[in-house]
Structure 1
Amino acid sequence: MASQVASVFAGIAQAPEDPILGVTVAFNKDPSPVKVNLGVGAYRTEEGKPLVLNVVRCAEQMLINDPSRYKEYLPITGLAEFNKLSAKLIFGADSPAIQENRVVTVQCLSGTGSLRVGGEFLAKHYHEHTIYIPTPTWGNHPKIFTLAGLTARTYRYYDPATRGLDFNGLVEDLSSAPLGSIVLLHACAHNPTGVDPTVDQWEKIRQLMRSKSLLPFFDSAYQGFASGSLDKDAQPVRMFVADGGELLMAQSYAKNMGLYGERVGALSIVCGSADVAVRVESQLKLVIRPMYSRTPGDWSHIIKQIGMFTFTGLNSEQVAFMRQEYHIYMTSDGRISMAGLNMKNLPHLADAIHAAVTKLK
């Protein structure tokens, strides 16, 4: 009977495969015994299996064996210690920006989430909405920033003739960029070319950008994997921090820690002063909250209350919303019968409560 009902989505066209992940789809469909997948940037063992670093295995065991760990909601900005160490890793333990409390760091969903949060923050609070990205660059960069509300333009980076850096072209394009424009910079191990500026070239780029008040937005996905040194790979970023100017820094631990499926990342914004940093953090929370943050409120009472019923704390308006939109029925005072819950309908209830408390506060 259901198969005869016309779908309201019948007019939706088939979307093309992701240019990178689509390679893996095609690879998996290929029955050849000699097939080789060189598309996705994921490290593998000699047998072609996913590589899990020993340090990651050790960390996992430490977490599993730690009885003090709990599963409560994290703050909007994420795990405080993770943020602190992420900033220290990229800016250096002795960074003046960190010591002066000018750095705001928030935990994000890997590099993609860090870039998106940063892009949306700039679209809301920065006076220029144009971001210059290198040609070529990671395929998701223009999509992320466009969806965040910025206009993506390009600057020359790679010279096919020399298979190296088109430094003159880079300088010309950034020199002609409007004052205050945002510029995306790969911190190290440029993706996809593997071509990085020299230290001297980085210094000239820094001087040029600061002279035109161009805002640096660094993307770091390979710290430690370019040269083998965490500090050396962070040197370009630290050069920009050392001059006292402001910048954005997106970090991903997918590649250098092999945490592809964990979606671990961070966004840091180096501000001009500590008081500006406080205000920037407050606005970052407002960007993150509707994007992916967790359901507001303390729900620990659910497991503290006893008996057949739970007094959820939902108000009559929220109860009516859940009945109308999610077909969930309870008394108007928010009381629910725990006996009516099972493993199948529990996720549906959780989604409904999340929607109710975020839309109807």
Structure 2
Amino acid sequence: MHSALRIASRQATTLRRASVFGLQAARAGSTWANVPQGPPVCITEAFKADSFEKKINLGVGAYRDDKGKPYVLPSVRTAEEKVVNAKLNKEYAGITGSISGTGALRIAAAFLQRFYPGDKTIYIPNPSWANHKAVFSDAGLKVQQYRYYDKNTIGLDFEGLIVDIKAAPKGSIFLFHACAHNPTGVDPSQEQWKEISEAVKAQGHFSFFDMAYQGFASGDTDKDAFALRYFVEQGHEVCLAQSFAKNMGLYGERVGAFSILGSSAEEKKRLDSQIKILVRPMYSNPPIHGARVASEILNTPALYQQWLGEVKEMADRIITMRSLLKSNLEKLGSRHDWSHITSQIGMFAYTGLDAESMKKLAKEHSVYATMDGRISVAGITSDNVGRLAEAIYKVKG
């Protein structure tokens, strides 16, 4: 019996080795053997690997409450309960409807690539959201940059922006962040937006607005929509990629909208027909649950007013964290001017720290953010703002 068991054991071991060898051989000759490992898309892995209890993640692009936790808006909870209790079916929605802000950008890019009569080049700010270039390039558009951020003043390079708008070939496509510019937190003033509008109109450019953070800049959704609404009032042709991920906290529900302005009801019908043709082979139909929640909020007066108040509360918390970070740095005796921390707006701030400083923050102080010095202010809390200021002070002085 024991001899038989030993023989069976040896046979099983031989089979396992053969199986492993066969698997390795199959992998070596795999169709995908030459696909290279891509770079990490975020800093989450490094943050997770850090065992320090008081580590700080300032790289996440999502709102967090003052305990550093994901936040579900009370208005969203109420709207979601109403949607569930309505016992609606799960049939397809109409083809029209986009999968959040990125989906809206992708639809817009495909539409412009196929139908825009001018040069298929889109100008984006320098810097811009990291995914903008990839989305537009993958859709077949050429991507150029216009001056936006002045690292010397840690503010807007308004003069360079205007010069670049005027220098671009007539009829170019220009992408503008409607509010709460990502990643810099630097927005034009209303008077500057008016000058931008004049320059764009003089060159016959097409304006493309990305509005991912409506309400997060000032706490007022109407005020944050100023640039887009002003351009429309001035007779510009515009399109809009809009997301409800941030201002409704519907990140995983993928709720957004792509809108394009037509000159007539007949033109609207033609535009709509072509957008449906683009969407059909791309993802066919948008998800419905998050859209129903957003619709419930926007179309129920009491819920809408509640939501506006919640958006202001989130924006106010971010503003408070900016103020606390600045005051803590000043109390530590920092010799640097940190006024840009509070003059910038929205979820993100450009600290002015270089890549070497950001590496030191991560390695020596367990503070994680992107190498360009951008931090997510939503990741700052009442509990960690003091330690964050001390870490920046030790690195920057």
User: Structure 2: how far apart are the matches of 1:25 and 1:254?
Assistant: 23
RMSD (Å), alpha carbons = 1.3
2:106 match? 116
User: Structure 1: how far apart are the matches of 2:128 and 2:64?
Assistant: 23
Matches within 5 A, 1:101-250: 107-127=97-117, 128-250=119-241
Deviation at 1:131, TM superposition (A): 0.3
User: Structure 2: how far apart are the matches of 1:113 and 1:294?
Assistant: 12
- 1:265 equivalenced with 2:269 (yes/no): no
Matched to 2:230, the amino acid is: M
Deviation at 1:28, TM superposition (A): 1.3
Matched to 1:75, the amino acid is: G
1:142 touches 1:152 (CA, 8 Å); kept in 2? Answer: yes
Q: For the pair shown, which has the larger CA radius of gyration, 1 or 2?
A: 2
- 1:32 equivalenced with 2:32 (yes/no): no
Of the two structures, which has the highest relative contact order with CA contacts closer than 8 Å and spacing of 6 or more?
2
1:255 match? 246
Deviation at 1:35, TM superposition (A): 1.0
Deviation at 1:70, TM superposition (A): 1.1
User: Structure 2: how far apart are the matches of 1:231 and 1:260?
Assistant: 22
**1:16 aligned residue (24, 39, 46):** 39
User: Structure 1: how far apart are the matches of 2:178 and 2:230?
Assistant: 11
User: Structure 2: how far apart are the matches of 1:142 and 1:172?
Assistant: 22
Unaligned runs of 5+ in 1: 78-106, 296-361
1:51 match? 71
2:279 touches 2:285 (CA, 8 Å); kept in 1? Answer: no
1:275 match? 266
Identity value in percent? 53
User: Structure 1: how far apart are the matches of 2:130 and 2:218?
Assistant: 24
Matches within 5 A, 1:68-79: 69-77=88-96
User: Structure 2: how far apart are the matches of 1:204 and 1:294?
Assistant: 40
User: Structure 2: how far apart are the matches of 1:273 and 1:210?
Assistant: 20
User: Structure 2: how far apart are the matches of 1:278 and 1:243?
Assistant: 23
Deviation at 1:113, TM superposition (A): 0.6
Higher percent of residues as helix: 2
Matched to 2:91, the amino acid is: E
- 1:60 equivalenced with 2:60 (yes/no): no
Deviation at 1:9, TM superposition (A): 1.3
CA deviations over 1:35-86 (Å, ceiling 9, x no partner): 111001111122221111111111111111113x111111111xxxxxxxxx
User: Structure 1: how far apart are the matches of 2:60 and 2:67?
Assistant: 16
User: Structure 2: how far apart are the matches of 1:186 and 1:63?
Assistant: 32
User: Structure 1: how far apart are the matches of 2:200 and 2:270?
Assistant: 25
Secondary structure, in 3 states, of the residue corresponding to 2:57?
A: coil
2:213 touches 2:246 (CA, 8 Å); kept in 1? Answer: yes
User: Structure 2: how far apart are the matches of 1:25 and 1:256?
Assistant: 26
User: Structure 2: how far apart are the matches of 1:208 and 1:108?
Assistant: 31
The two structures have a TM-score, normalised by structure 2, of 0.64
The two structures have a TM-score, normalised by structure 1, of 0.71
User: Structure 1: how far apart are the matches of 2:221 and 2:285?
Assistant: 32
Deviation at 1:272, TM superposition (A): 1.9
CA deviations over 1:153-176 (Å, ceiling 9, x no partner): 000001111111101000001101
User: Structure 2: how far apart are the matches of 1:286 and 1:293?
Assistant: 9
CA deviations over 1:197-221 (Å, ceiling 9, x no partner): 1111101111111111100000001
Deviation at 1:294, TM superposition (A): 4.3
User: Structure 2: how far apart are the matches of 1:248 and 1:216?
Assistant: 7
User: Structure 2: how far apart are the matches of 1:122 and 1:17?
Assistant: 30
Secondary structure, in 3 states, of the residue corresponding to 1:140?
A: helix
Unaligned runs of 5+ in 2: 1-18, 287-397
236-245 vs 140-149, greater mean Cα deviation: 236-245
User: Structure 1: how far apart are the matches of 2:228 and 2:264?
Assistant: 18
253-262 vs 165-174, greater mean Cα deviation: 253-262
Matched to 2:282, the amino acid is: M
User: Structure 2: how far apart are the matches of 1:271 and 1:208?
Assistant: 22
Matches within 5 A, 1:329-344: none
